[in-house]
Structure 1
Amino acid sequence: MIKLSCQRTGRANMEFMWLYSLCQCILSVFVIVVSVRLCMAVSGSSTVADIQERTQGAGPQLRSVTCCLRLCLGWVGAVGGAVAVPVTVLLNLRTPQCLYTCITLVCCPLLVRQFTMFLLMLLTLDSHLQHHLADRYSSVMTRQRALCVVLLCWVGSVLSSFAQFISSDVLDTWRRGGTGPGTAGLGLPGNWTTSLPHLTPSPKYHHDRKIIGKYLPYGGFLSKFYVEDMHNFTYAEIHSSHWGVCAPDNILSPQFLVYVHGMTVFLLPLLCLLAIYLDLLCIKPRKTPFSHTDPLNKDSCRVRSLSLSLSLLVVLCLPLHIIHALLLFTPSTNLPAWAHAVAVFLFQLYSLVPPILFTPSKKKVGEERASFPLSVPHIPPAVTPSRGKSVRMALCEAVQAAPWASAKHSLKAKVCPEV
């Protein structure tokens, strides 16, 4: 009876895991769709800076700073959503993997999320600088500076996502971690795949291992799986010293999730958006150049957009960070399985918010085109001569200026004098 109930529980957990993975994959597909829509909307629209460059004869059409940032956000969302589909399934299956393969699988979603939050802050700050600097914006914000800031954000995202594995010995944590059949991952108890292989490498394996960079800071990193005779050992035997169940709870420590990941993807964006929100409420807006619309209306739109972004950030992301804080400060807390799963899904749901917020609407693009005053005055078609007419007028003037034309007029005046 006990064995039958355990089988039913395991089958129910397996069905729940597949349903949960399916929901996450559908969410990733939606992220890809909205990100591609953002890229298409930005690519198909002509911004005010583009019209100004064409008017001034600045060569080929170039994209403004805002368009560059929006395209970066769209590409990151599309690529991250495509990568998240297989990574989510592998992590939920909790398959045995090499330690370094597992680090890559776990940290890829963290890297995409961190870079997305940095781009969200950059786009919000860029919109605020356009509003605050007015005519000085074009001299302060250039494409080169914006791309340099994006590059720095990418480097910061990589460092923050892999921060736990840069300064600590994760191999000891990996060996001491719960890698047995009772391990819980994402609030789902149990090991969904086969158990860990019991591997005992032969002495020949240790003899054939080649030491690479033994005295360097990361010395021995490649030596964990680099063997001179690769054909006599399987992949599992080579990685047996650092082999375990791949899941975020076995790799990421609560300290990292609270003090690093929580600070960079939640607290820092929250403070940044809140500071811009308070600044918009307290400072009187300036009228931006090339715009005839009321600055108060634009200011109210920015305030509403920021309030919506702040509200969604708190509602969707705060539950997961509260759970991480509880696991850090009160490890004995027993949370239900559905609570952690729902919190993770809400956290991933926020990936839809930045692309939707910064997708320009067709109405807004039309207003920008209509509100931009061209430096070249518009000439009515009735006054502007066509190419054929201008050529004909030039020929008539040349004929009239010829010497035979003057002789013809003088002969006509002698024969038929005017009264």
Structure 2
Amino acid sequence: MSSSPGIKPREHVDVMYISIETAIALVSVVGNVLVVLAVCVNRALRNTTFCFIVSLAVADIAVGVLVIPLAIILSLGFKTQFYTCLFLSCLLLIITQSSILSLLAIAIDRYLRVKIPTRYSTIVTQRRACVAVCLCWILSFLTGLVPMMGWNRRHAGGNLSSSGDIVCEFTAVMRMDYMVYFNFFGWVVVPLSVMIALYAEIFRVIRRQLNRRAEATCDGERYYRKELKLAKSLALVVFLFAVCWLPIHIMNCIDFFCPQWSVPKFTLYAGIFMSHVNSALNPMVYAFRIKQFRVTLIKISQRCGIRKPKEATLCPAGTRAQTEKGDVDP
């Protein structure tokens, strides 16, 4: 296969990787744009939990618009300045961190909702939720840009050439001790462990409340059943995140702790592919598991000309009361 100037010849596995990544990017962008649009048009979805879900959707849109194209560029083997390549690599980490911190914020939000239901609305306001989202993104930028401060491979062999240009690859500029100890153990394993503990406690509290049915009112039982359904959906999002992201981090651990073991290129690409496909899965979880979200997506498709809607509004009848309470019918 012929190659363009400055680009290494493509192998068949590289071409397949680029094709799959392009398809994932398109699905991710379209699906998550619909998530944001659904929240914008349906007042019943404009609560604090969906504020964090929108933050997660924005991160997933960034995966399709920014991360995947950058990953493809890094796989092409362009020659560029060291710090230019390092900055592009750091952008990949920033988006990943924003996703996991958004998931953590969602878990904390649902925990407070079932643990202190009577005081939840006064403690978790829309303004505080927006502040929390901003903090998540600020923290993501700070942790993702740590390699720019010096924790990188600038002084590794080959990166101090006289020309100043290097073949831009993620592993050529990013140190594996940073990826394993700081990024994986510190900012993936710890948040995931906290989320697992929070959802375990959420399910325990909800089950305990539902077992007290004889003492509870019908409204109380309905409240906790809705919370249980939504908690299951959001816990599924966390589970998919772990399943999709752990393989690539495990490969990094193998590369760091057992450098004599070489990870095949196909396996490496499969791990990268799984980490990116996670961004396309989240909208599907919302659509299949959350009724109000699914109904809103159907109405949006009708408005776009697939089928003319009978209703004059995007919010179905009977949702105004839910909007006032901030509840979503899963």
TM-score range relative to shorter protein:
0.7 to 0.9
What is the CA-CA distance between 1:293 and the residue it aligns to?
Answer: 5.9
**Matches of 1:307 and 1:85, distance apart in 2:** 25
Shift of 1:165: 2.8
Q: CA deviation at 1:334?
A: 2.3
Structure 1's unaligned 5+ residue stretches are 1-9, 49-62, 180-197, 200-239, 376-419
**DSSP 3-state at the match of 1:97:** strand
Which residue number in structure 2 is paired with residue 331 of structure 1? 259
After TM superposition, the runs of 4+ consecutive aligned structure 1 residues lying more than 6 A away are 286-290
Per-residue deviation, residues 68-92 of structure 1 (Å, max 9, x unmatched) = 3333333332234212343123111
Task: Give me the whole-angstrom Cα distance separating, in 2, the residues matched to 1:128 and 1:117.
Answer: 17
Q: Secondary structure at the match of 1:168?
A: coil
Pick aligned residue for 2:293 from 332, 356, 361: 361
Residue correspondence of structure 1 range 256-275 to structure 2 within 5 A: 256-264=178-186, 266-275=188-197
Q: Tell me: CA distance 1:353–1:40, structure 2 relative to 1, closer, same or farther (3 Å).
A: same
Moved more, 20-29 or 291-300: 291-300
8 A contact 1:134–1:289 mirrored in 2: no
Q: Which position in structure 2 is the counterpart of 1:282?
A: 204
Counterpart code for 1:41? A
Deviation at 1:38, TM superposition (A): 0.2
Give the counterpart letter for 1:86 in structure 2. P
Residue 172 of structure 1 aligns to a residue in which SS?
coil
The letter of the residue matching 1:162 is L
Alignment of 1:214-363 (within 5 A): 240=163, 242-264=164-186, 266-283=188-205, 284-285=208-209, 294-358=222-286, 360-363=292-295
Task: Give the RMSD, CA atoms, in angstroms.
Answer: 3.3
The offset of 1:345, in angstroms, is 1.0
Q: 1 CA distance for matches of 2:217 and 2:146? A: 44
Partner of 1:98: 81
Instruction: Determine if contact 2:101/2:136 at 8 Å carries over to the other structure.
Output: yes
Q: CA deviation at 1:158?
A: 1.2
Give 3-state SS (helix, strand or coil) of 1:267's partner. Answer: helix
* Per-residue deviation, residues 126-150 of structure 1 (Å, max 9, x unmatched): 2332232212111101233222222
Distance in 1 separating the partners of 2:113 and 2:37: 23
Task: Give secondary structure in 2 for the equivalent of 1:120.
Answer: helix
Percent identity reads 21
Structure 2 gaps of 5+ residues are 1-7, 297-314, 326-330
- State the distance in 1 between where 2:323 and 2:255 align: 58
User: Using a 3 Å threshold, how does the CA distance of structure 1 residues 356 and 259 change in structure 2: closer, same or farther?
Assistant: farther
Contact in 1 for aligned 2:151/2:175 (Cα 8 Å) = no
TM-score normalised over the length of structure 2? 0.76
Tell me, yes or no, if the aligned pair for 1:36 and 1:74 is still in contact at 8 Å.
Answer: yes
- Please tell me whether the aligned partners of residues 266 and 317 of structure 1 are also in contact (alpha carbons under 8 angstroms): no
Could you list the per-position Cα deviations for residues 259-296 of structure 1 after superposition, in whole angstroms to 9, with x for gaps in the alignment? 12213553133212211221023223489999676245
Please tell me whether the aligned partners of residues 98 and 243 of structure 1 are also in contact (alpha carbons under 8 angstroms): yes
Do the aligned partners of residues 45 and 69 (structure 1) sit closer, same or farther apart at CA in structure 2, a change above 3 Å counting? same
Are 1:27 and 2:10 counterparts? Answer: no
Higher relative contact order (CA 8 A, sep 6+): 2
